[in-house]
Amino acid sequence: MSLPDVVGLVGVLAYLHAYALAQLQVLTITDWRYALLNIVGGVLVMYSLLWSFNLASFVAQAFWMLFTIIGMVKARRMRARPATPSA
């Protein structure tokens, strides 16, 4: 097994770890650690694609990371908002 294959598998494990932690309710999808695992997973899988390119996988990884980054920004903005007092 080549180094790019190993790196790609570590990326897949990062994705699966994030998903498992969310399903087990250890992390929420707004937790920065969930997003970090998804981004790391995407970067590592994309790295492995440099050696054995697959367009469908590349597009899936790119959009997965894009949606993760959008979610991170949205979650951060929501946390930064001051709480509105109840009437």
- DSSP state at residue 27: S
The shares of helix, strand and coil residues in the chain, as percent rounded to the nearest 5, are: 75, 0, 25
Per-residue pLDDT reduced to its tens digit, 33-82: 999 999 999 999 999 999 999 999 999 999 999 999 998 899 888 888 77
pTM for the predicted model, two decimal places: 0.82
**Is residue 11 packed enough to be buried (19+ CB in 10 Å), middle (13-18) or exposed (0-12)?**
buried
14 in helix, strand or coil? helix
